[in-house]
Structure 1
Amino acid sequence: MMEEITLEKIDAIRSRTGVSYREAKEALEQTQGNVVEALIALESEKQTNWTEEFSVRSSEVIDKVKELIHEGNVNSIRVKHDDKTLVDIPVGLGALGAVFLPQLAALGVLVAVFKRCTIEVIRNDKNDHEE
């Protein structure tokens, strides 16, 4: 039987893992609303994913996001300012990510008011990027 998915449960998962609201909700749905099982599932998932951050001028955000989408091993791109997520772009494969390119114009308008933004990239297959 599925337990109720509440904002409190989502917040508990977010505070412990740093995932987005969407990711926390999906983890709870996959585990029938069980917070502990959702945390374990997210922990297992994080072992195959890794995060990288870039600090860029707002004028460079669009080009950097396009570049990252075309690299291919990107699961998600988050554009942040002062630790607040402005946009979260789920990207499966480079080709699939091309679907989001027209939406980048809206992102440009959004970040234009800031001097600098942070781009957080969640990647899979860590071995492809180790040096």
Structure 2
Amino acid sequence: MTQQATEKIDVKGAHLVERVKELVHEGNVRRIVIEDSEGKTVMEVPVTVGVVGFLLAPTVAAIGALAALAADYSIEVEREIPESTDAGVTVPL
């Protein structure tokens, strides 16, 4: 079973596309929500293996259109955090 954590990152429009690409390539990101400076959701992208391979190009193009507006955005990132499995393991001294 995995846990989820949420992180919020503030970015300028010019850096929006590159930051989203970095997040997608991290591998543990499940969902990305892009909000404008007023906190309104502009785009929500589920990041799964199928989306990364098949739909990433049109999604990045849409994010690029947002970035062209050169506004301030925040990216809310939902990450998957695997639970630790080290219970019962002894460490030699």
Q: TM-score scaled to structure 1, two decimals?
A: 0.54
Question: Aligned in 2, Cα 1:69/1:113: closer, same or farther, shift over 3 Å?
Answer: same
Written as runs of structure 1 = structure 2, the 5 A alignment for 1:50-69 is 50-69=5-24
1:72 Cα offset (Å): 0.3
1:85 Cα offset (Å): 0.9
Equivalent position SS for 2:24: helix
Question: Pick from 108, 123, 131: which aligns with 2:79?
Answer: 123
For the residues of structure 2 that align with 1:48 and 1:88, how far apart are their CA atoms?
A: 20
Count matched residues: 81
Structural RMSD (CA): 2.2
For the residues of structure 2 that align with 1:118 and 1:64, how far apart are their CA atoms?
A: 11
Structure 1 segments of 4+ aligned residues over 3 angstroms from their partners: none
Which is strand-richer, 1 or 2? 2
Amino acid at match of 1:88: E
1:92 Cα offset (Å): 2.0
Question: Aligned in 2, Cα 1:75/1:115: closer, same or farther, shift over 3 Å?
Answer: same
1:97 Cα offset (Å): 1.7
Aligned to 1:88: 44
Q: Say which structure, 1 or 2, has more relative contact order (CA 8 Å, 6+ apart).
A: 2
Q: Is 1:107 aligned with 2:63?
A: yes
Question: Pick from 59, 72, 90: which aligns with 2:27?
Answer: 72
Give the share of equivalent positions with the same residue, in percent: 33
Q: TM-score scaled to structure 2, two decimals?
A: 0.74
